[in-house]
Structure 1
Amino acid sequence: MTAAQAADPAPPANTEARTPLTDLGKDDPYKWMEEIEGERPMAWAKAQNTRSLAVLQGDSRYAGLEAQALAILNAKDRVPGVSFAGDGSLRNFWQDADHVRGLWRRTTLESYRTADPQWETILDIDALSKAENANWVFKGANCLPPEETRCLLTLSDGGKDAVTIREFDTTTKAFVPGGFALPEGKQNVAWLDKDTLLVAREWEPGQVTKSSYPYVVKALKRGQALADAKEVFRGTPDDVSASAYTLTDADGKVVAVLANRGVSFFEAETYLLTDAGPVKLPLPLKHSIQAYVAGQMVVSLEQDWPERNFKTGDLISFDLAAFKADPAKAVATLVLRPTAKQSVEGVTTTRDRLVVGLLDNVTGAALVYAHGPQGWTHQKLALPANSTIGLGSTSQKDDRLFVSVTGYLTPSTYWLADAASLKLEQVKASPARFDASTHVVEQFEATSSDGVKIPYFVVRPRGVKYDGSAPTLLYAYGGFQVSMTPAYSGVMGKLWLERGGTYVVANIRGGGEFGPAWHDAALKANRQKAYDDFFAVSQDLIDRKITSPRRLGIMGGSNGGLLMGVALTQRPELYNAIVVQVPLFDMIRYSQIGAGASWVGEYGDPAIPSERAVIAKYDPYSNLKAGRKYPEVFIETSTKDDRVHPAHARKAAARLEELGYPVLYYENIDGGHAASANLAETARRQALEYVYLSKKLMD
């Protein structure tokens, strides 16, 4: 089989005649806003910024809130998160007021244990940006095991997803002369060996998918021109993307080379790359290769696999050697089957152990698995209960790993765990950033329109009166199997809770709190269920008299920004404030804007009439109407966001203004999808949000 033959197009999921893309939104008067950095849309955005910032920054509270946020974000006593490196060091990326773009640095475990670790700078991103007259945002390093001294540094211009990749030597603390250097693009790279990379990128102009991601993977040798790289795998332009990666043992030896063909956002084919060509593996489309340890390849399933008697959410494993020899006959072993209220949140490996982060009714646990002649056995790490537990960096030299523990009112603590002995050592604890003594955390359930119980957390003042007067901020996401778990936010606590606010997080369908089935319940034709869940939680807060429509505000970003748009157009009477962050909003044209085509698996395809009919019912952009009692919304986006295009936010604001509604709008010129290229910009954005919420809900 040749690389070009490796990925035959999957049959279309829907055989309806497709509407020409040029016909979708063809009469939209604001299509010109889709020119991301065009002169006209940029002039419009700057004028909006000037007007809105005058209102929000002109508020007497703004300066104080921004200063408090910046002090927390830049605090010197923040706990630096670290990762194990193969050279024996611990590495960290750090930003503060003196290092706005950040320092990539290292220390030793012994020093890290002390109150004042001694850090050695590996690379100063501020100095690099100045020297190269560039607007670099550091997006991480991919280092070659086992020593991990040769690294592929990912640098973004202003925070875009399109990145430049350059080879760096942590020993000399310099870029490698004549080393690997990939020009800007949406790309992904993996080490095959010290002189070979597996690269997926736009090799020829236009050689990207409809989602704007690469679908051709090539092997690039050291010193070789990009044009001379050898193709090893090819997807199709109709896919979301393609990539290649390796599975390595604890000593850095490559045990398998795999390619991923993203058929849709949630469906993928995995191929074993062999000397004879790619070999498609007999796995269900909704699966994820999670890890390799103790000779076992660990796979999570996001759909039932009836041929093997496995269920959605199962974690399974194969003996890799047997699987490579005959994938069809290799025996799969069950590692873990979550209950209806559980979900596998994270999987990682130490040298000899598999570690699983498990959610149980939105509360975390960490399970350690060992593989032996009798299969898998497991034990639980004795970490604090009723917390969110995050699996951090692991060592491949032994069985140690870092684990974080956090909650809404509990500052994060950082633990060093030994997965073999189960020994735990708390190495760091974050200082409190606000007075949590006045608040309590509760978990309630609301009943959605179809009778399903939707859990949500309430963080409220102890003495709150159940008379509907509490200023309340409700947050949710509800998509892409992303779980909303309790987490400590010093800025939210200081700028909202400490000032008497109540904070609520809703675990609506579309997320991953209860596994893949919780997500699948709100896909495509069932999308409205996520919105109904959100409205049910909103109404439950009002019915319990925790708050009232006058005092209830909501916030969400990206897919959560779409949720905010739906809330605005479907149930505006429930809310007095809506913060719409980097949103999807024009759902009729979303698949043509930015990386939108990659999300058809989540929302459906607007070019297919029956799927467009579903989308049109909740599409915020086309459902904005005159004569409704909409609250004044605050819409935020970023010019550099090449994932969720800023045109969504621009169009939303322009359409609202056209209909005669007041609207506040802020477009960050840098920052990418996270809208925060540096901590100063993050502090500004958060201060703007809490001024707006204070004006609407507290005044």
Structure 2
Amino acid sequence: MTAAAFSASAQTSGSTPARTPADPFQWMEEIEGAKPLAWARAENDRSLPVLQNDPRYKDLNDKALAIVNAKDRVPGVGFSGDGKLSNFWQDATHVRGVWRKTTLDSYRTADPVWETVLDVDALAKAEGKNWVYKGASCLSPDDRHCLVVLSDGGKDAMVYREFDSVTKTFVAGGFEAPEGKQNVTWLDKDTLLIAREWEPGTLTKSSYPYVLKVWKRGTPLAEAKEVFRGKVEDVMVTPFVLRDPDGKVQAAMVSRAVSFFETETYLLTDKGTVKLPFPLKSGIQGLVQGKLVFTLEQDWAEHGLKQGDLAAFDLAALKADPAKAHPTLILRPAANQAIEGTNITRNKLVVTLNEDVKGKALVFTPGADGWTSKPLDLPANATIGIGSASETDDRVWITVTNYLTPTTYWLADAATGKLETIKASPARFDASKHVVEQFFATSKDGTKVPYFVVRPKDLKYDGQAPTLLYAYGGFQVSLTPSYSGSVGKLWLERGGVYVVANIRGGGEYGPAWHQAGLESNRQKVYDDFFAVSEDLIARKITSPRRLGIMGGSNGGLLMGVALTQRPDLYNAVVVQVPLFDMLNYTSMGAGASWVGEYGDPAKPDERAWIAKYDPYSNLKAGQKYPRAFIETSTKDDRVHPAHARKAAARLKALGYDYLYYENIDGGHSAAANLNETARRNALEFTYLSQQLMD
């Protein structure tokens, strides 16, 4: 997902959704069929010259390439169990990327010395594959035994291959799980817990695994032993293992997602599985000093806990008698706050907290009388991110950024509160002429909706500023202030205004902010977006002629709704890897997993409220739609490319002008490597220039 991974909150339906009657473009749902691909290539051939022949395109593409391939980019690092720092790096030489390591002393210098662990470009060339690196899962405490995760072209279906990080080679005869949507974790160096499609019928209706097995080293994958089975109506089953800082297993567990926001948690024991008493809407965050930390997305009245709370169980007590164990409150955010992230060092719990979408960090310590906390003295009015935490001591990496300040990398000692700035990213555009402001728009139901405006200091309030408004509004994903070199260089420096709306559906104010826009309340998300748009116009920052919008995935759905409901507000709409055909979304890609977010079109009452905002069926003739730019990827196996294809085809059938770009690779990001990312950025900002600046 463009903004983040999809989630959902209510049980998926086992029913078969009713198809939209007589859909003339249903044939586009064959992802790599000859006819749909021929159509997509023809659309690319028609649309790309409109943008790439614009004299601005080359300059924008060159600048975007210079940013993504800049040699002075600061590499973010994580702690490795061998005492080194690990990093994944892409540049002009390593387009696919290289996994590498260095020491902290070397990292402190201006030119660290890196040791290559795995060169993905070389691997792809040697094997003739379009490999996209999706990370490596390494077994603590020494992180020698690793599972390298690779995707062909950026798909969510991935390959897992055992890798020795010391010899820097794939292990001959080691674990290798062929391509599939699968969830895998180490139990010990000779054992994996793995959920995947074992045979036809062992994927959920959402296209994820629900059967978990134990796989022993030296045995065929087919001989793995089943230890847990969910249901085909679930979203997925995922194993995870809790270890102490020395790598000793404290609990092996299973997450059974009955929907993306409703999860049952089970303990794996020698005698079978034991269901743990967590509410369905909760999430385990980790283990610190024997305390199992979790968040709540719903009230838990039995224990006096509230939606949005952070709490913990004593793990030993929970394992001994789940029914009698009692949790302890760690943190209850205020109404204008939300827990954004957590991480655990050897002895401490580090939490980032947003307050009106501005971050702070707190360190929590468990004790005999409960939990105590101390703040970390970090810059205000910024987004605070928690990076990798050490298991050998209490150090943790912290990032600090905002819209005009490049990311700085801090090394924090959670035990002492000591902070050290290690690296600061170079500026990619001149921010001295800009200012950031936060405003609140009033939505249709009276709710105050925050949004950020990044504008020139000398802005003339005459409604003529080319303005790009970005939003997401779903799955409890928060849009916090972040630095974007491409937005700065390709838009702000050229006189544009950039706006980010923190509409409902996101997580900016915790679970309640998300749940306020679920299912039958979905229109509130769109009303929030329109309220921000109208507020920008009322302030004379911009006008409908100069206002453009952009969003991806769930945000792409938002763009489709904006196009069909309020075309009078906008002159540019960038629709990135969208959901669009909402009356049929559960039958495409991973759509069935999102019923808790949107509702089930197989149920007549829910179909009725989906139909009110569904962009695909609400595209009508005779409207004053702006020329939209629709983007997708053939390799997107999360949000099916047919959503974008069908949107474009229907616009064409109705006689509207539009632009379309389908990347044949790239997965859900629509860009499989840095060069493709730069091209996509250049295409988007060329289009925005044509629509809003000309």
Normalised by the length of structure 1, the TM-score is 0.97
Quote the residue 1:66 is aligned against. Answer: 61
| 1:209-248 mapped onto 2 (5 Å cutoff) | 209-248=204-243
Matched, 1:581 2:576: yes
Quote the residue 1:8 is aligned against. Answer: none
Matched, 1:669 2:658: no
1:112 paired residue among 107, 110, 135? 107
| Alpha-carbon contact 1:315-1:336 (below 8 Å) kept | yes
Distance 1:446 1:387 in 2: 21
| 1:466-485 mapped onto 2 (5 Å cutoff) | 466-485=461-480
Deviations 1:368-410 (A, max 9, x none): 0111122110101101110001100011000001100000000
Quote the residue 1:150 is aligned against. Answer: 145
| Alpha-carbon contact 1:640-1:670 (below 8 Å) kept | yes
Matched, 1:464 2:459: yes
Quote how far apart the aligned CAs of 1:206 are. 2.7
Quote the residue 1:407 is aligned against. Answer: 402
527 and 379 in structure 1: CA distance in 2 versus 1, 3 angstrom threshold: same
Quote the residue 2:383 is aligned against. Answer: 388
| 1:254-333 mapped onto 2 (5 Å cutoff) | 254-333=249-328
| Alpha-carbon contact 2:396-2:414 (below 8 Å) kept | yes
| Alpha-carbon contact 2:287-2:344 (below 8 Å) kept | yes
| Alpha-carbon contact 1:19-1:609 (below 8 Å) kept | no
Match of 1:458, SS state, is strand
Deviations 1:629-674 (A, max 9, x none): 0000000000000000100000000000100000100000111001
Structure 1 segments of 4 or more deviating over 4 A?
Answer: 12-15
Quote the residue 1:695 is aligned against. Answer: 690
Quote the residue 1:121 is aligned against. Answer: 116
Distance 2:238 2:536 in 1: 45
Matched, 1:590 2:585: yes
Distance 2:471 2:488 in 1: 17
Matched, 1:503 2:511: no
Quote how far apart the aligned CAs of 1:341 are. 0.7
| Alpha-carbon contact 1:315-1:335 (below 8 Å) kept | yes
Match of 1:145, SS state, is coil
The percent of aligned pairs where both chains have the same amino acid is 71
Distance 1:456 1:227 in 2: 52
Quote how far apart the aligned CAs of 1:545 are. 0.6
680 and 13 in structure 1: CA distance in 2 versus 1, 3 angstrom threshold: closer
178 and 14 in structure 1: CA distance in 2 versus 1, 3 angstrom threshold: closer
Distance 1:654 1:518 in 2: 35
Quote the residue 2:164 is aligned against. Answer: 169
374 and 580 in structure 1: CA distance in 2 versus 1, 3 angstrom threshold: same
Provide structure 2 residue ranges, at least 5 long, that are not aligned to the other structure.
1-9
Quote how far apart the aligned CAs of 1:20 are. 4.7
Deviations 1:569-616 (A, max 9, x none): 000000000000000000001000000000001001100111110100
Deviates more, 1:480-489 or 1:372-381: 372-381
Matched, 1:570 2:579: no
Quote the residue 1:135 is aligned against. Answer: 130
Match of 1:43, SS state, is helix
Quote how far apart the aligned CAs of 1:231 are. 0.6
Deviations 1:157-214 (A, max 9, x none): 0000000000000100000111000000000101001100000000112310000000
Distance 1:389 1:257 in 2: 31
Alignment RMSD: 1.0
Number of paired residues? 685
Quote the residue 1:100 is aligned against. Answer: 95
Quote how far apart the aligned CAs of 1:227 are. 1.4
1:416 paired residue among 393, 411, 420? 411
Distance 2:12 2:380 in 1: 46
| 1:600-615 mapped onto 2 (5 Å cutoff) | 600-615=595-610
Amino acid at match of 1:359: N
Quote how far apart the aligned CAs of 1:13 are. 6.8
Amino acid at match of 1:373: A
Match of 1:564, SS state, is helix
Quote how far apart the aligned CAs of 1:14 are. 10
Distance 2:439 2:177 in 1: 50
Match of 1:479, SS state, is coil
| Alpha-carbon contact 1:165-1:183 (below 8 Å) kept | yes
Quote the residue 1:366 is aligned against. Answer: 361
Quote how far apart the aligned CAs of 1:25 are. 1.7
Amino acid at match of 2:240: Y
651 and 619 in structure 1: CA distance in 2 versus 1, 3 angstrom threshold: same
Distance 2:317 2:12 in 1: 37
Match of 1:422, SS state, is coil
346 and 20 in structure 1: CA distance in 2 versus 1, 3 angstrom threshold: closer
Deviations 1:518-547 (A, max 9, x none): 000000010000000000000000011110
Distance 1:295 1:213 in 2: 32
Amino acid at match of 1:454: V
Quote the residue 1:685 is aligned against. Answer: 680
Quote the residue 1:631 is aligned against. Answer: 626
| Alpha-carbon contact 2:12-2:259 (below 8 Å) kept | no
Normalised by the length of structure 2, the TM-score is 0.98
Matched, 1:543 2:543: no
Distance 2:225 2:435 in 1: 59
Match of 1:536, SS state, is helix
Q: Which has the higher contact order (CA 8 A, sep 6+)?
A: 2
Quote the residue 2:7 is aligned against. Answer: none
| Alpha-carbon contact 1:287-1:299 (below 8 Å) kept | yes
Quote the residue 2:594 is aligned against. Answer: 599
Match of 1:498, SS state, is helix
Quote the residue 1:517 is aligned against. Answer: 512
Matched, 1:431 2:426: yes
| Alpha-carbon contact 2:11-2:596 (below 8 Å) kept | no
Distance 1:359 1:255 in 2: 31
378 and 20 in structure 1: CA distance in 2 versus 1, 3 angstrom threshold: closer
Distance 2:16 2:23 in 1: 15
347 and 659 in structure 1: CA distance in 2 versus 1, 3 angstrom threshold: same
Quote the residue 1:87 is aligned against. Answer: 82
Distance 2:110 2:444 in 1: 52
Deviations 1:214-271 (A, max 9, x none): 0000000001111110111110000000111111110011101110110011101001
Distance 1:329 1:206 in 2: 38
Distance 2:161 2:404 in 1: 41
Match of 2:652, SS state, is helix
Match of 2:610, SS state, is helix
Quote the residue 2:352 is aligned against. Answer: 357
| Alpha-carbon contact 1:578-1:631 (below 8 Å) kept | yes
Quote the residue 1:199 is aligned against. Answer: 194
| Alpha-carbon contact 1:265-1:600 (below 8 Å) kept | no
Quote the residue 2:550 is aligned against. Answer: 555
Amino acid at match of 1:138: Y
Amino acid at match of 1:298: V
Quote how far apart the aligned CAs of 1:26 are. 3.9
1:619 paired residue among 611, 614, 622? 614
Distance 1:138 1:182 in 2: 15
Amino acid at match of 2:509: F
Amino acid at match of 2:471: A
| Alpha-carbon contact 2:11-2:259 (below 8 Å) kept | no
Distance 1:20 1:46 in 2: 32
Deviations 1:427-460 (A, max 9, x none): 0000010000111000000000000000000000
Distance 1:391 1:364 in 2: 11
Distance 2:565 2:64 in 1: 33
